[in-house]
């Protein structure tokens, strides 16, 4: 299987000539699941597109990958607005749709446990001021 760097060309993975214009950064005979992270030359990649072997949807002829930040010493992350994966740093801008519980990072496929911390903010506006009495 050939592994193509999706960032090595201005072509998009859905364009017909993507595979001819992208750089092959590695080849392997290993069975790779679409959700695996790949380590190539001490850099980490996620698969963003795969071309299956004809008639075998679970085997790939080619895959397109992009680099991800990967921290093998995962720590908890906290962010006011979005879920941030502690493994790869991916920011999920649709976090409001997630809620709490199990979550699979769309960038690195790590399984995360999400807790939502709610904060209440009070806003006071003047409806009527107190009457001032001069004495």
The stretches of 1-135 forming alpha helices (DSSP H) are: 18-21
Model confidence, pTM: 0.66
- The domain locations on the chain are 2-67, 73-121
- Both structure tokens of 17: 């000539």
Distance between CA atoms of residues 97 and 42, nearest Å: 34
Q: Is the pLDDT of residue 126 over 80?
A: no
d(CA 6, CA 13): 7
Nearest to 65 by CA among 84, 85, 41: 41
Please list the alpha-helical segments (H only) found in 84-134: none
**Closest by Cα among 61, 38, 42, 41 to 51:** 61
pLDDT in tens, 30-84: 888 887 888 999 888 888 888 888 998 778 889 999 888 877 666 778 877 888 8
């Amino acid at each position: 299987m050939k592994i193509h760097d999706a960032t090595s060309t201005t072509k998009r993975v859905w364009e017909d000539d993507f595979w001819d214009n992208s750089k092959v950064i590695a080849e392997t005979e290993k069975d790779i699941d679409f959700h695996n992270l790949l380590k190539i030359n001490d850099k980490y990649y996620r698969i963003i597109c795969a071309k299956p072997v004809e008639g075998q949807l679970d085997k790939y002829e080619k895959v397109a990958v992009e680099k991800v930040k990967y921290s093998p010493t995962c720590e908890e992350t906290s962010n006011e607005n979005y879920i941030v994966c502690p493994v790869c740093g991916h920011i999920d801008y649709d976090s409001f749709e997630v809620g709490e519980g199990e979550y699979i990072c769309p960038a690195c496929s790590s399984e995360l446990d999400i807790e939502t911390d709610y904060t209440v903010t009070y806003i006071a506006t003047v409806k009527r001021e107190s009457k001032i009495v001069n004495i």
